[in-house]
Every structure is written in C-alpha cells, then in structure tokens.
Amino acid sequence: MSSYHAPLREMRFTMQEVAGLRDVCALPGHEDASPELVEAILEEAGRFASGVLDPLNWPGDQQGARWDQGVVRAADGFREAYAQFCEAGWHGMPAAPAFGGQGLPTLVSTAVMEMWKASNMAFSLCQMLTMGAVEALVRHGSPALQQRFLPKMVSGQWTGTMNLTEPQAGSDLSAIRTRATPEGDHYRISGTKIFITWGEHDMAENIVHLVLARLPDAPEGVKGISLFVCPKFLVNEDGTLGARNDLVCSAIEHKLGIHASPTAVMSFGDGPGAIGYLVGEPHKGLGYMFTMMNHARLNVGLEGVAVSDRAYQRARAYALDRVQGRTLTGHAAIIGHPDVRRMLMDMKCRVEAMRGLAYFTSAQMDRAHAHESEAVRAQAQALVDLLIPIVKGWCTETAQQVAADGVQVHGGMGFIEETGAAQYVRDVRITTIYEGTTGIQANDLIGRKLVRDEGATMKALWRTMSAEAQRQSDSPDASLRQLGQSLQRALDALSQATDWLLTQAARQPAATAAAAVPYLHLCGTVVAGWLMNRAAEGAVLRRQGADADAAFLQARLVVAQHYHHHMLVSAPAWRDRVVNGAASTLALADDQF
C-alpha cells in the first residue's frame, strides 16, 4: 500500500498564487502568520498526517468503531492518536485565542485540515464537528455557557456534536419532534436523533451535544426550533464533571464507508429527561445552526478535495509500480499506457481545480471577517455566500469521479479491499449528502444566492473572471493566450445560463429547480477553470525567476491546459442542460417512471 504524503508544494503554490496568502496574512489580526510560520505549520501537519493518521486509516476502516450496550469504542490506535493530536495543539488551531485557539487565518487552517481529511477522514470528523459546535457557542452562547464549555472543547479535552436529524425528519427540519420542557435554570430534553457523527466514543472525557428541540409553546415549522447544550456528563460549578446526563447512544449505524467514525443514534430522556441549556433566544435555533453552515459546508467540500488527492496518490503509486502488458510509450509500468495516463491526468487536474476553489473561498472568508474596509468585507461575504454551495456541491460530486478513476487505474485489483483504492470510493460517497445534498446546495445557489440579489454577486464575479481572461488573452505568452480565450468561451456559457435562470425563475419555478444541479456543475467547472488560469499565470511569471523550479512550474501549466481540454470544454454542454433540459426532466407522469 502507498503512504500519504502531503502535497506541500502544490498546497503552498495554490495558497500563494490562487488564494493570495500574502494579502490574507496582512489582514488585521493575522500579522503573526508570517510566511515562515505558515511554512512550519504545514510541514509539521504533513508529518503528523503521514506518520500518525495515515497508518490508522485502512485498519480503522476494517475494524470500525464498536458499540456495546451504549458504549462506543474507537478503532485501535485512535485514542492514542487523538491524545497526540490534542497535545500538539492541532485540535484548537482554527479557534479564537480567547478560548485557547491559535486564531490563524481560515486559509491556513483549511490547508491543514485537508491533510487530516486526506490521511484519515474518519478521524478528522471528530475535530470538525467539535469546531462547528464551538463556533455556534462563540456566536450565540451566553458568557456563562462559553466559560463552562469552550476552553475544554477548544483544547479537545471535550468534543462536540450537532444533533439535527430525526428518523421522521431528514432534510426537513420543520418536522423535528424533540421536546424541551423548562425546569428552573435549565430544560429537560426528550427525543431521538440520528446520524450523529462521533455522538458517542471513548476518546474524550466528555461530549457536548448541541441539540435542536421544541419548547412547549413553540410555533409550528422551522420558526419553532430552539438550540440547547446537552453534555454527556453534567458540569459542576468548579468545572469538574458531575453525574451522567439522561442521554445514551442506543446504536451506531452500519455504513457504506467511514467505518471508524461512529454515526450514533442518540436517545435523550429515556428517564426524567436530559438536562439542557438554552443557547441564545427561544425559537431561533435553526438560524443559530446556520451561522456555522458556511464553515461546515466548506469543510465537507474540502473532504472531496482531500479524499480525491489521496485516491490520486494511491493510483499514481500503483501505476508507477505495476508491470502489465506492453506499453506504447516504452515504460515498463502501466503508467506507460496512454489511457492510464489520461485517468491520472484527469484525477490530478480535478484535484488541483477543487483545491483552488476551496482555498480561494477560505481566503474570502478571511477577508469577510478581518478586512479594514466595511465595503470589502461585505463584498467578500457576498462572494463567500455564493461560492459555498458550489464548493460543497461541485467538489464532492467531482470527487466521486476521481475516486472511481482511482479504482479503474488499479484494474481488477482496485475492486479488492486490500489495495485500499475501494475505501476512498466508499468514504467519499457520504460527502454529497453531508450538510445538505447536492440538490439542496443547488437550490440554495439559484434561490438564495442568485435570484435573491438578481444576480448581482454572480455578475460581479463574472466581470472579474472576464477581465482576467481578457488580460490573459492579450498576453505575450502563447500558452496564456490560449487559456484566456478558452476561459472566455466558458464564461459566455455561464453568462447565458445565468441570464436564462434569472428570467425564468418567476415564470417557471419547477423548470429552474430542474436546472439547478446542472447550473451548479457549470458554475463549479467555470469558476475552477478561472482559478486554474490564475495558477497557470503564476507559474508562467515564476518561471522568469532565477531560482525557478522549472519542472514543477511546467507541470502547473500542463495541468491547467489539461483541465481546459478535458473539463472546461463541458461548459457549453452544461449550459444546454440548464437552458433546454428541464422539459424532459419534468415530462413524465409519476406512473411512467
């Protein structure tokens, strides 16, 4: 089996040339994030990912988490790895210094998190869910709740979860039935939640559950949902752990993938009711949960990037080693077969395109949070809001193809579990469902992000992309000229599809909804193509330096060209699906399916 090696050169290059690392580190509050510090962080994270987390990935998948009468044991080695992870300070890295975190730019923490997810996605989910719960409490919890829970959650001594889904309420949170009954300074919570990632385990001494529930006087629908903190163990006034709360993991799910990440069925209130504490105001819980949704959806999109990169690394290693058949290019190994090279190039350019999109979006989050100009912050936030469903939806959908290609490169051996290629197909499959399915992301994109502001943010982004395409089209470098012209053709397709949606949204709501996922694919394909051009332009400029890494920079340019020739050319086809595809999608009666 191959070992994971963090692609640090590619990651640094994307951070610098595509996301604008230097500008991000110059933002107020990020001055300590020097290039030297960022370099050191990435190097150390890469060592931890390859040396500690990657060796646990495959055996953890084979063994899985184990449930026994409400007790869940993590796969062998996970407890020890988690202790090392926390002791090294990795757990709280994305959090604010006020609660023990490092307060580094989102761009930097995104790059580090890619390594955790690439080396061991199941392990990484525990920190990711905890940081989501931390963010909700930072934004909406009272000072008393923050003081009681946040320091130990940030350190990793306690972990956190988000309890939204119920058996009768999947994506429709308006159907939530979990109840919260007032009792003095707290509430009694009763109900059942499903699909709770790391909802029970033995890696930390306490688990802090954020639970959506209804008060007795709650209005119907989503406007009647409140948010509560329900710890596994109650916390005494002095911060020590008290009695076990009335909540239990009644089962863990048997899943297609991420076997080492326990997905719990949580039962609250089998006895007198689990003690919970209200977060913020009554009936505003759903809004509180959604304040952390941008980060959550970015991180799930990042899972698509990370698992794709790991699948690519394994396929590349196999192709360089496996000898079979006479190749047309004179190589001994199967990498000499042109079709194997095509698959590896497809995988490689898709990974780099996804990484560019995820990193660029995380940098915009930093600008939205920290830029001195209120106008710039607002523009950056609008761009983040537009891009997040694209990052989440397009990166995770693209990852399905990359992981499948990884199996294909292995041939029949890819279908055998021991080679490890199949695990990435299984693990990454959930990412198109996590934090809202692709259809939900696409409806959010066209409904809340496109139509609501009459396309203003998308049109502003289009003008930026078009200006850069024009500049590249006028470049003295022939390669850049070709890329700029190719990008402009794709931008024309995006503009036409956008105009169609904006004119038809009110007239044909069903037709525009039917076109939503194709439009998301079009947006992802084109925006990532724009960022691949940025990378190519950066490579061309760097080649002029005396200390240029010519082979690495040439590869960046070739990968961008491959993306244009094999992926960006699909933009007109996606436009046609948007503009012309709804009629057949909606044509059949129910009994004709």
DSSP characters over 507-534:
T-HHHHHHTHHHHHHHHHHHHHHHHHHH
- Using pLDDT thresholds of 50, 70 and 90, give the confidence band for residue 324: confident
Domain ranges of the chain: 8-140, 156-284, 292-436, 438-583
Strands (E), 380-481: none
The percentage of residues in the chain with a pLDDT greater than 90, rounded to a whole number, is 92
Nearest-angstrom CA–CA distance, 36 and 111 = 15
For the domain made up of 156-284, give the CATH fold. Answer: Butyryl-CoA Dehydrogenase, subunit A; domain 2 (2.40.110)
pLDDT at 396: 98
167-171, 233-237, 348-352: least confidently modelled range: 167-171
| 156-284 has the same fold as 8-140 | no
Tell me which of 135, 303, 435, 537 is the catalytic residue: 435
- Using pLDDT thresholds of 50, 70 and 90, give the confidence band for residue 171: confident
* pTM exceeding the 0.95 threshold for the entire prediction: yes
Instruction: Give the pLDDT mean for 568-586.
Output: 97
Nearest-angstrom CA–CA distance, 48 and 275 = 38
Q: Is the pLDDT of residue 494 over 70?
A: yes
Tokens of 564: 């244009």
pLDDT at 509: 96
Which helix or strand (DSSP H or E) is residue 158 part of?
Answer: strand 158-163
Q: Is the pLDDT of residue 220 over 70?
A: yes
**Mean pLDDT for all residues in the chain:** 96
50-59, 285-294, 483-492, 534-543: least confidently modelled range: 285-294
pLDDT at 291: 78
Tokens of 482: 């070709």
Q: 439-449 burial, b for 16+ CB within 10 Å, e for fewer?
A: ebbbbbbbeeb
- Per residue, what are the HEC states of 29-40? CCCCCCHHHHHH
For residue 591, give Cα distances in angstroms to 96, 323, 583, 584: 55, 52, 17, 15
For the domain made up of 8-140, give the CATH fold. Answer: Butyryl-Coa Dehydrogenase, subunit A; domain 1 (1.10.540)
Query: β-strands 247-252, 263-268: how paired?
Result: antiparallel
Q: Is the pLDDT of residue 122 over 90?
A: yes
Q: Is the pLDDT of residue 546 over 80?
A: no
Contact 362, 298 (CB under 8 A): yes
Going by the DSSP 8-state scheme, the letter that residue 209 receives in this structure is: E
pLDDT at 412: 97
Tokens of 455: 């396309």
Q: CB under 8 Å to 551, separation ≥6 — which residues?
A: none
Q: Give the CA count within 13 Å in the CB-facing half-sphere of 408.
A: 14
User: Model confidence over 78-97: pLDDT tens digits?
Assistant: 999 999 999 999 999 989 89
Taking alpha carbons only, the member of 368, 373, 400, 399 closest to residue 386 is 368
Q: Is the pLDDT of residue 457 over 90?
A: yes
The percentage of residues in the chain with a pLDDT greater than 70, rounded to a whole number, is 100
Contact 291, 158 (CB under 8 A): no
Right CATH number for 292-436 from 1.20.140.10, 3.40.50.280, 1.10.260.40, 3.40.640.10?
1.20.140.10
- 435 as an active site residue: the answer is yes
Instruction: Give the pLDDT mean for 468-489.
Output: 97
pLDDT at 1: 66
